[in-house]
């Protein structure tokens, strides 16, 4: 069964809509606390907690990452761009996993995989630095063999296949079939190279089943849909419902 990594970024988005931690005094209750959301996700069955420390700290911040490292009992997966600033935090905190992603200041969420043809050397340096600390590095890439080959060549033990195109194809049966086949072939190719194969982006309660039928993924990283469901059901139940679908 695929493991479930719960991305808590959008709980921090809700917090930042009202509070800026740097401006708050100690008497103010800052909510929601992404760390408490992470603990609830674990109670619901999460196998790991994913948090994206962006360069502009638009949602998750340094305090969150340090507190997550201290408080959670599962695994911490730090999503990060290959920037020196965020790398310094990662080398200090030493998460269990690090997923290297592209980053655009104007985007709402990460769109598309990291282009290793363009960013090969910089990504390789970050993989080397994190691996030296015992962090298992994954690279978030589009499901393309050429990108997978570079990920293998620069020493990443894992890849996370970007499933956004599949998610966006929902409702178009022919396009959906093409995207599922593309993901399947990429996943099988990555596995043949000895890579751990994860996937993520745009996965929700409706489309997760068809994705799981294509390949036996190691882990799916899912965030927005769980946080959305949690508004109605609570975090524990929202995570438990997704976990049941993975089973």
d(CA 138, CA 130): 11
Which pLDDT band, with edges at 50, 70 and 90, does 74 fall under? very high
Strands (E), the chain: 3-7, 48-52, 75-80, 97-100, 136-141, 158-162, 196-200, 219-222
Considering the segment(s) 3-246 as one domain, its CATH architecture is Alpha-Beta Barrel (3.20)
- pTM, entire model: 0.93
Render pLDDT for 114-161 as a digit per residue (tens, 0 to 9). 999 999 999 999 999 999 999 999 999 999 999 999 999 999 999 999
Q: Can you give the residue ranges of every domain in the chain? A: 3-246
Residue among 10, 52, 59, 162 flagged as catalytic: 52
Q: What is the pLDDT of residues 85-127, one digit of tens each?
A: 999 999 999 999 999 999 765 555 556 799 999 999 999 999 9
Single out the catalytic residue among 79, 103, 144, 219: 79
- Statement: residue 43 has pLDDT above 70: yes
Task: Cite the DSSP H helix spans in 55-157.
Answer: 62-71, 84-93, 116-131, 145-153
Catalytic residue among 59, 160, 201, 219: 201
**Higher model confidence: residue 214 or residue 26?**
214
Is 179 part of the annotated catalytic residue set?
A: no
Condensed to tens digits (0 to 9), the pLDDT of residues 171-230 reads: 999 999 999 999 999 999 999 999 999 999 999 999 999 999 999 999 999 999 999 999
Other CB atoms within a 10 A radius of the CB of residue 20 amount to 10
Q: What is the DSSP string of 23-49?
A: G--TTS---S-HHHHHHHHHHTT-SEE
Structure tokens at 161: 């296949």
Catalytic site includes residue 31:
no
What tokens were used for 19? 């509070």
Q: Is 52 a catalytic residue?
A: yes
Q: Are 86 and 111 in contact (CB under 8 A)?
A: no
Radius of gyration (Cα) for the chain, nearest Å? 17
Q: Is the pLDDT of residue 24 over 50?
A: no
Cα 128 from Cα 155, distance rounded (Å): 8
Q: Is the pLDDT of residue 243 over 60?
A: yes
In whole angstroms, give the CA distance from residue 241 to residue 230. 10
Give dist(CA 239, CA 44) in Å, integer: 5
Q: Could you tell me the pLDDT band of residue 18, with boundaries at 50, 70 and 90? A: confident
pLDDT band at 19, cuts 50/70/90?
Answer: confident
């Amino acid at each position: 069964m695929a493991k479930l990594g719960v991305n808590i970024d959008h709980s921090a988005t809700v917090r930042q809509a009202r509070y800026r931690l740097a401006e708050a005094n100690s008497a103010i209750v800052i909510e929601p606390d992404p760390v408490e959301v992470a603990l609830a996700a674990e109670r619901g069955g999460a196998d790991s907690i994913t948090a994206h420390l962006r360069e502009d700290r638009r949602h998750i911040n340094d305090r969150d990452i340090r507190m997550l490292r201290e408080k959670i009992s599962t695994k911490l997966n730090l999503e990060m761009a290959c920037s020196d600033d965020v790398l310094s935090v990662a080398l200090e905190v030493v998460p269990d996993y690090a997923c290297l992603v592209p980053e655009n200041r104007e985007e709402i969420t990460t769109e598309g995989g990291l282009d290793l043809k363009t960013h090969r050397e910089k990504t390789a340096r970050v993989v080397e630095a994190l691996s030296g600390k015992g962090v298992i590095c994954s690279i978030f890439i589009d499901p393309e063999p050429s990108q997978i080959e570079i990920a293998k060549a620069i020493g990443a033990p894992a890849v996370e296949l970007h499933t956004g195109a599949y998610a966006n194809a929902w409702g178009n049966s022919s396009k959906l079939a093409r995207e599922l086949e593309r993901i399947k072939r990429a996943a099988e190719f990555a596995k043949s190279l000895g890579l751990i194969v994860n996937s993520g982006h745009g996965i929700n309660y409706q489309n997760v089943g068809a994705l799981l039928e294509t390949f036996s993924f190691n882990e799916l990283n899912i965030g927005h849909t769980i946080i959305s469901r949690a508004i109605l059901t609570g975090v524990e139940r929202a995570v438990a419902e997704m976990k049941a679908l993975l089973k």
